[in-house]
């Protein structure tokens, strides 16, 4: 049985593209059965459609407009994803914190997140920008990328893969972002491969 992957995105989807490419080149033995975005404008939805992958646009705003909670949103999102029976859920630039209620729906499943920082440094949004500022102030000399298990605490789950990324004096923020994205694309595929290999044994 080919392992089933659901990918959650909020934006450009370059990491999604790396996963799509790795599957089509047979680096990964799995199939993406659904791409979910909480933003209609996410370019990653176009990438999914071009690859023939079903998409789901699932924004939080309609829930807020009806006075519903984030937890109600998460429970409904979990139900939608469950219909696709995934073996693995990958958060690749997903900018919505998932509650315990969502995670409890998939207790026996792997849920992983890609975060452009080293463990316990620059948790949450704009991690690259904050690392760059810290470098400029002389507080750090390097940053990194990690793939970790998802728990309710943001970016605090057990790291599965970590790679350090150097920061150079001559770097613009754009240079650093490009270097980090290159590592992200490789690391997310590497981690998925590791998990799928374990599932296949």
Nearest to 16 by CA among 170, 188, 152: 188
Between CA 141 and CA 125 the distance in angstroms is 20
Answer yes or no: are the C-beta atoms of 100 and 121 closer than 8 Å.
Answer: no
The partner residues of 142 in beta bridges, in order of sequence, read: 166
Is residue 115 flagged as an active site residue?
A: yes
Between CA 169 and CA 3 the distance in angstroms is 43
| Burial state string for 101-138 with b = 16 or more CB within 10 A and e = fewer than 16 | bbbebbeeebbbbbbbbbeebbeeeebbebbbebbeee
From the list 115, 181, 185, 201, the catalytic residue is 115
In sequence order, what E strands does 81-169 have?
88-91, 110-115, 142-149, 159-166
Q: Which residues are catalytic?
A: 115
């Amino acid at each position: 049985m080919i392992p089933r992957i659901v990918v959650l995105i909020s934006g450009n989807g370059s990491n999604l593209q790396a996963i799509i490419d790795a599957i089509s080149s047979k680096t990964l033995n799995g199939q993406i059965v659904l791409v979910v975005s909480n933003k209609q404008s996410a370019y990653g939805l176009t990438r999914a459609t071009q690859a023939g992958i079903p998409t789901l646009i699932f924004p939080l705003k309609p829930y807020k407009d009806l006075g519903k909670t984030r937890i109600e949103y998460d429970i409904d999102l979990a139900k939608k994803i469950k219909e696709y029976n995934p073996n693995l859920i990958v958060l690749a630039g997903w900018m919505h914190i998932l509650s315990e209620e969502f995670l409890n729906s998939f207790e026996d499943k792997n849920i992983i997140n890609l975060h452009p920082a080293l463990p316990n440094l620059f948790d949450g949004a704009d991690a690259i920008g904050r690392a760059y500022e810290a470098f400029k102030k002389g507080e750090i000399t390097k940053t990194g990328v990690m793939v970790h298990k998802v728990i309710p605490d943001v970016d605090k789950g057990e790291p599965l893969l970590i790679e350090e990324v150097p920061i150079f004096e001559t770097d613009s923020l754009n240079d650093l972002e490009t270097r980090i994205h290159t590592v992200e694309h490789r690391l997310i595929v590497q981690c998925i491969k590791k998990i799928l290999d374990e599932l296949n044994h």
